Amino acid sequence: MDISSIFLLLSVCGSTRAFTLDYGGVPLWINRFLGEPSVLTLKDRMDPGWFRAVNTQSCPLECDCPIQWPTAIYCDHRGLIQLPSGLPSPTQYLFLQGNSIMILGSRAFANATNLRWLILDHNQILSEQLDDVLFFNLTRLVNLFINNNSLTRVPVGLPRGLKQLRLAYNHIEKISAGAFQNLENLTLLLLQGNRLKTIEEGDLKGLGVLNLLDLSHNLLETFPKHLPPSVQQLYLFNNSLTGLMGNSLHGFNGLRYLRLGHNKLRNEGLDPGAFNLTSLVELDLSYNQLTEIPTVPTTLQYLYLEVNNIQEFTVSSFCRTTGPTSYSRMKILRLDGNKLEYHKLPPDWVFCLRVLHNIYI
């Protein structure tokens, strides 16, 4: 791992344990060499008076401005109903999660145009109270988090330089045409926990380098079409999907992680070639209604099929033929919670799954 990046798991201990800091369920990579600050709350961890005594920078009274991160302001979990006044212009990292903010006017960030991170999770922000030009001047913004609010649409006028947009657990029912049109740098988009029923053509247009797309915990009944082909991680668990067509994954030449657990998938709705994608590394089909093991590529390494209704172990699902170079690269296979018994597996399974590390039955 590059030593310039530190992978910080968002776990909280001690007096901060009551605060929600999941940031949409995906951890953040922190680059200390860029001066990126801690993503853990400072609330009740250090004396605000000490901050003010040693830091000569102006700081809103409701917030903490630690001297070790002079461009970061922590205003999280303060019971705020509006944005603090007097945000210093050098501010690059602004933490406002865990408040009761509903309204953000057009000039809310007029003096904070250097913002790189804006964290607004767990507030009460309404789409109708977001001004259309709110983010217009935030040309340096790369991370915008508005998880767990009351949005009914994707905010408009988003800055072109955004790399992460997290809108999980809102009330978004439909994506407006062109909502992401200019976001050619966006690599991560979280839309899980909304009320999306379909993804229309053009809804995600413009997302040319998107890597991770999370549409879990929505109301999707069919596998969405018109997704960006650049996606490498696609999460669709906890929807109401019943199947996949043969061309559902066509064009996803870089897709590596596909999570379809907790749906209503049935073998009758799965085309035999639905998962014929050699780039796939991990496939999650757990907690569905499958009665047979679907056909998967021999290059797949991790397959999760726990808690279905599978009654037979079919070697041909993993290997069409077996030989010196014809075998499955599977490392972990989960079949627990089905109607299988280890001692009843066909004897030739070990020739197909010869590099398997763990099997759960």
Q: Please spell the DSSP secondary structure of 301-319, one letter per residue.
A: -EEE--SS------GGGT-
As for how many domains the chain has, the answer is 1
pLDDT at 55: 55
pLDDT at 25: 82
Q: Let me know if residue 95 belongs to a domain.
A: yes
**What is the pLDDT of the chain when averaged over all its residues?**
89
As a whole number, mean pLDDT of residues 69-80 equals 92
Measured CA angle at 245 (ends 240, 251), to 5 deg:
110
CB atoms within 10 A of CB 107: 12
Which residues constitute the domain of residue 135?
Answer: 42-150
d(CA 136, CA 82): 20
How many CA atoms does the CB half-sphere of 205 hold within 13 Å? 9
pLDDT at 53: 52
Q: Let me know if residue 253 belongs to a domain.
A: no
pLDDT over 90 for what percent of the chain? 70
Q: Which residue has the higher pLDDT, 51 or 348?
A: 348
CB atoms within 10 A of CB 216: 24
Residue 54 CB partners (closer than 8 Å, separation 6+): 67
Q: Is the dihedral angle over the CA atoms 178, 226, 210, 333 positive or is it negative?
A: positive
pLDDT at 52: 54
Q: Let me know if residue 97 belongs to a domain.
A: yes
Residue 324 CB partners (closer than 8 Å, separation 6+): none
Q: Let me know if residue 221 belongs to a domain.
A: no
| CATH code for position 60 | 3.80.10.10
CB atoms within 10 A of CB 223: 22
Q: Is 9 exposed, middle or buried (0-12, 13-18, 19+ CB in 10 A)?
A: exposed
Q: pLDDT per residue over 30-73, tens digit each?
A: 777 777 787 776 665 556 555 555 555 688 888 988 888 889 99
Q: pLDDT per residue over 227-279, tens digit each?
A: 999 999 999 999 999 999 999 999 999 999 999 999 999 999 999 999 999 99
Q: Let me know if residue 89 belongs to a domain.
A: yes
pLDDT at 327: 95
- The tokens describing 273, both together, are 């070639």
Q: Let me know if residue 12 belongs to a domain.
A: no
Query: Is residue 7 within 8 Å of 28, Cβ to Cβ?
Result: no
Pairing state between β 143-145 and 117-119: parallel
- The tokens describing 54, both together, are 């040693």
Q: Which residue has the higher pLDDT, 251 or 21?
A: 251
d(CA 335, CA 167): 34
pLDDT at 323: 85
Q: Let me know if residue 10 belongs to a domain.
A: no
pLDDT at 51: 55
- The tokens describing 214, both together, are 């999370």
- The tokens describing 45, both together, are 């961890």
Q: Let me know if residue 351 belongs to a domain.
A: no
Q: pLDDT per residue over 104-114, tens digit each?
A: 988 889 889 99
Which residue's structure tokens are 């709110």? 134
Q: pLDDT per residue over 278-305, tens digit each?
A: 999 999 999 999 999 999 999 999 999 9
Spatial CA neighbour of 192 closest among 143, 252, 239:
239
